[in-house]
Amino acid sequence: MIYLIMTMTSVFLAVIHISYKDRYALSNREGDYRKSLIAAVLSVLPFIIVAGFRYDVGTDYLYTYVPKFNEIANGQENYFEPGFYLLNKLIQLYTRDYFWLFLVCAVITYAIVFNCIFRYLNDPAFGILLFVITTGYFVSLNTTRQYIAIALFLWSIRYIRSGEWWKYLITIVIGAMFHTSILIMLPLYFLCRMRFRPVVSFATIGVAFAVTSLLRNLLTSLFANQRYGEYFDSYYDSGETAVRFLLINLAILILGLICMKIGGNEETTEAIPGKPEEKEAEESKPYQCDDLNIYMQIQFVSTVVCACSGAIPLAYRIIWNFSSIQIFLIPIMLERIQNAWARNLAKGAVIASFTVLTIVTIFMNGEHGVVPYQSIFSK
């Protein structure tokens, strides 16, 4: 119930923000602008409160973060990345109560995520809803430090769009100081500034699935003497393809491709006029991609990782890095549907599908250990 109240309150405030934002566009009155800004800021508070005041919610709450917080306080050795270690130490300058660690992490994570939602989307209310029903919020309750890194990655997408590679690099490196896995996102800058090519993409997904066993042998050798190598043939290494993740990511990729076709996003070299050498020169220029192209490329990589997940221990953690963009991809791709009736039908189908997924995985199967919810006041 607490998650339902949190989501409804936040979505309602986002709707108010949109209303005053539209009024400001017509009236240009500062009062309407301030009200839209206040509503946007207030919309993040339910998420911060629920996450910040929780107790033993999230699998790693008592398993990892609380004991490691105490170990750091006692000067013992730990394996946290330097950024998260420093955050623990800064909090411990003022208090030894681990409650403040979770509250500060909640403020950092959701302030960044919500900033991106309101910046990237015309309909932030839909983005907030998707953040919950695609289970991103519940993942963040479990993977506290990883989701700080994911939030910073979401922030860095603006630099892909603007072509500021050095800002993208700096932001990802900062994210890696909280969770090293985010470094895998570095090549995305170059991929996302290339045109999404469906035939090549789907062929790559097929190849990735076919060579899973070969990739397994390669990764085992590559990480043999690394800390990550400890996960091979361990409890965290099922050796099975993440079928559920693969089907979901593949469905979103296909739906995105359909919406790109509907919106006329496809560009062909045959349409370039002039002599052959002029066509070659035009093709050699950097592709000026739009937002949908960026998210489709990231979604493509997410699907590739799903396809070969049987070779990768803890593959779902890598998938979370990439699939986090779905809260932006889905609204933007549905906007390409010109017919309002068809667009609303597709939107309703997406909401219904992900709601069922959340009910089954989070509330019935108990994934991520976020139910039942309890606060610090009930411990």
Decide: 320 and 139 in contact? Cβ < 8 Å.
yes
Whose CA is closest to 327, among 67, 165, 137?
137
CA-CA-CA-CA torsion sign (164, 169, 175, 179): positive
Q: 20 vs 28, 39, 66, 75, 346, CA distance in Å?
A: 10, 9, 42, 51, 27
Closest CA to 291 of 251, 254, 250, 260: 260
DSSP structural state of residue 226: S
| Contact call for residues 152 and 175 (beta carbons, < 8 A) | yes
Q: What is the mean pLDDT of each run of 10 residues along the chain (379 residues)?
A: 94 92 80 88 96 93 91 84 93 93 96 95 95 95 94 95 92 95 92 87 87 75 65 64 88 89 52 46 52 92 88 82 94 90 92 95 92 86
d(CA 150, CA 323) in angstroms, rounded, equals 10
Distance CA(249)–CA(319), nearest Å, equals 10
C-alpha span between 254 and 296 (Å, rounded): 10
pTM above 0.85, yes or no: yes
Residue 173 three-state SS: helix
| Confidence at residue 282, expressed as pLDDT on a 0 to 100 scale | 44
pLDDT of residue 262: 77
**How far apart are the C-alpha atoms of 320 and 313, rounded to whole Å?**
14
Q: What whole-number distance in Å separates Cα of residue 29 and Cα of residue 85?
A: 46
d(CA 268, CA 40): 40
